[in-house]
């Protein structure tokens, strides 16, 4: 049988506590979700502001369905381009402080499409070791030479740039907020170095959009780096509570990607209702920063509580990892939490490096203090049980 290897590989995953399975959510995506008829407190959603189930976003999507229907029936360049795509791209550009923006069906496709369009065989792309999988896939597929520097190591980035002057184009790419560690890239330094070596700079602002900066515009707002970064990638699927990815930058970049990015050209346009939901999400964030304030209040509160029994808790963002080490231990704690009504999956290799399996807490503005207390009180005895073994 030709597929025998599939069974063997699945067994190997099971043997190493690396088998992945999903749970089925029977409710909307809120701080509580229903699974098998029971409520679970969720600490693993990227829905940072709780917008995925926000009344204004639901209303916007429903109104768009009434007016424009659901499907688009074609790619943007053929006949799928609708008014709401245009409106949303204008809004994204305004939000990110760039001339223009281009929508992709997902953030994954934005990264792969943009990187493959920008660099090829004669070029080099240099990225952080912990960059998101979609960036790595783009780098590999592009055919460009691909080098990584140790996580956030700016001097290693510089030395790679020093050694790469023979290439036609040099692209530097980094997450602004790292998705599995929740820490942030030293963007001002990276901007300086990219400028010094005349490299193109691209940042992935997926976890910063709607989360960082005074008005939630992302890492560019946070650091005041408007117009200093050539290519800003983001996702509408996280804090914005919708679906879709984008690239923001100069108009010439956007025109170029429209013509060259295969994951833009050869795929069907997003449903207009998805664009309406994104527009409503962005408007809501611009008009009212109270959700953003509540999110950061939750981050500070959880950090202070966790720090009482775990050392070195870093909480630079709403993603707060608790590094456990072995996949088995991380899975055991995650299972115990689940038995106690808390959804907090163990993140294991290959998503994170071997020996750094973790519980990755992500917070939402809609979590209450009581919700966070429940997590702490359930987690504490579990951590204590394996504390000596894992030296937390
Ligand atoms: C989620 C994520 C993406 C992909 O975005 P989607 O819209 O979910 O496809 C890209 N980069 C990073 C850093 C992410 O966390």
Q: Hey, how many other C-beta atoms are within 10 angstroms of the C-beta on 6?
A: 10
CB 32 within 8 Å of CB 41: yes
Q: Which residue of the set 85, 91, 96, 207 is catalytic?
A: 207
Distance of alpha carbon 7 from alpha carbon 16, whole angstroms: 14
Q: Is 238 a catalytic residue?
A: yes
The ligand 1 atom nearest the CA atom of 131: 13
CB 255 within 8 Å of CB 227: no
Residue nearest to atom 5 of ligand 1 (CA): 107
DSSP string, 128-159: ETT--HHHHHHHHHH-SEEEEESTT-HHHHHH
Rounded to the nearest angstrom, the distance between the alpha carbon of 103 and the centre of ligand 1 is: 14
The predicted pLDDT at position 390 comes to 54
- Tell me which of 256, 287, 318 is where a domain ends: 287
| 142 shares its domain with 224 | yes
**In the block, residue with structure tokens 């790679």:** 160
Per DSSP, the chain holds a count of helices (H) and strands (E) of 14, 13
Rounded to the nearest angstrom, the distance between the alpha carbon of 175 and the centre of ligand 1 is: 10
Tens digits of per-residue pLDDT, 376-387?
A: 999 999 988 877
**Pure H helices in the chain:** 4-15, 55-68, 83-96, 107-118, 133-142, 154-162, 187-196, 219-223, 251-260, 262-265, 272-287, 290-306, 327-339, 369-390
Instruction: Please say if the pLDDT value at position 218 is more than 80.
Output: yes
Rounded to the nearest angstrom, the distance between the alpha carbon of 98 and the centre of ligand 1 is: 20
Q: What percent of the chain lies above the pLDDT cut of 70?
A: 98
Q: Residue 133 is part of which domain span? A: 55-287
For residues 85 and 386, which has the higher predicted lDDT (pLDDT)?
85
Instruction: Please say if the pLDDT value at position 208 is more than 70.
Output: yes
**In the block, residue with structure tokens 């100069």:** 250
Pocket test for ligand 1, best of 106, 108, 139 (most atoms within 8 A of CB): 108
Residues with CB under 6 A from ligand 1: 106-108, 111, 132, 134, 175, 179, 204, 206-207, 235, 237, 245
The ligand 1 atom nearest the CA atom of 109: 9
**The pair of three-digit structure tokens given for residue 16, joined into one six-digit string:** 């190493």
Rounded to the nearest angstrom, the distance between the alpha carbon of 172 and the centre of ligand 1 is: 18
CB 31 within 8 Å of CB 42: yes
Q: What is the CATH number of the domain that holds 248?
A: 3.40.640.10
Distance of alpha carbon 286 from alpha carbon 267, whole angstroms: 30
| 216 shares its domain with 148 | yes
Tens digits of per-residue pLDDT, 313-368?
A: 989 999 999 999 999 999 999 999 999 999 998 999 888 889 999 999 999 999 99
Report the run of H or E that residue 203 belongs to, with start and end.
strand 200-204
Number of domains comprising the chain: 2
Tens digits of per-residue pLDDT, 126-148?
A: 999 999 999 999 999 999 999 99
Burial bucket for residue 266 (CB in 10 Å: 0-12, 13-18, 19+)? exposed
Residue nearest to atom 6 of ligand 1 (CA): 107
| 246 shares its domain with 385 | no
Q: What is the mean pLDDT of the chain?
A: 96
The predicted pLDDT at position 392 comes to 52
The predicted pLDDT at position 66 comes to 98
- Tell me which of 251, 268, 287 is where a domain ends: 287
CB 341 within 8 Å of CB 41: yes
Is 109 part of a structural domain of the chain? yes
Q: What is the pTM of this model?
A: 0.95
Is 9 part of a structural domain of the chain? no
When pLDDT is cut at 50, 70 and 90, the band that residue 370 belongs to is very high
CB 123 within 8 Å of CB 169: yes
Range 39-47 average pLDDT = 97
Is 66 part of a structural domain of the chain? yes
Pocket test for ligand 1, best of 48, 206, 218 (most atoms within 8 A of CB): 206
């Amino acid at each position: 049988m030709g597929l025998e290897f599939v069974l063997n590989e699945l067994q190997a995953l099971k043997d190493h506590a690396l088998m992945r399975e999903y749970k089925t959510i029977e409710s909307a995506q809120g701080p509580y979700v229903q699974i098998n008829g029971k409520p679970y407190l969720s600490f693993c959603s990227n829905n940072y502001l709780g917008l995925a189930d926000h009344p204004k976003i639901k209303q916007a999507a429903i109104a768009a369905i009434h007016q424009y229907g659901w499907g688009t029936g074609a790619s943007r360049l053929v006949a799928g381009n609708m008014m709401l795509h245009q409106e949303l791209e204008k809004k994204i550009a305004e939000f990110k402080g760039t001339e223009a923006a281009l929508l992709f069906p997902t953030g994954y496709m934005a990264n792969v499409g943009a990187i493959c369009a920008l660099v090829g065989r004669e070029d080099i792309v240099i990225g952080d070791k912990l960059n998101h999988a979609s960036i790595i896939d783009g780098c590999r597929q592009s055919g460009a030479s691909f080098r990584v520097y140790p996580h956030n190591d700016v001097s290693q980035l510089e030395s790679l740039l020093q050694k790469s002057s023979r290439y036609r184009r040099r692209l530097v790419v980094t997450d602004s907020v790292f998705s599995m560690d929740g820490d942030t890239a030293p963007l001002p330094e990276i901007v300086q170095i990219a400028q010094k070596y005349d490299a193109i700079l691209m940042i992935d602002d997926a976890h910063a959009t709607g989360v960082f900066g005074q008005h939630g515009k992302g890492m560019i707002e946070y650091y005041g780096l408007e117009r200093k970064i050539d290519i800003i990638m983001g996702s509408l699927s996280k804090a914005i509570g919708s679906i879709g990815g984008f690239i923001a930058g100069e108009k010439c970049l956007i025109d170029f990607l429209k013509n060259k990015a295969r994951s833009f050209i050869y795929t069907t346009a997003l449903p207009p209702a998805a664009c309406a939901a994104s527009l409503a999400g962005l408007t809501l964030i611009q008009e009212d920063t109270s959700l953003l304030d509540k999110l950061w209040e939750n981050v500070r509160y959880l950090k202070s509580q966790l720090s009482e029994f775990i050392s070195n808790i870093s909480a630079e963002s709403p993603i707060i990892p608790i590094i456990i080490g072995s996949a088995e231990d991380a899975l055991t704690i995650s299972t115990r939490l689940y038995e106690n009504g808390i959804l907090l999956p163990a993140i294991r290799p290959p998503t994170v490096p071997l020996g750094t399996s973790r519980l990755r807490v992500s917070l939402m503005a809609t979590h209450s203090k009581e919700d966070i207390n429940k997590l702490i009180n359930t987690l504490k005895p579990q951590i204590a049980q394996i504390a000596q073994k894992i030296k937390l």
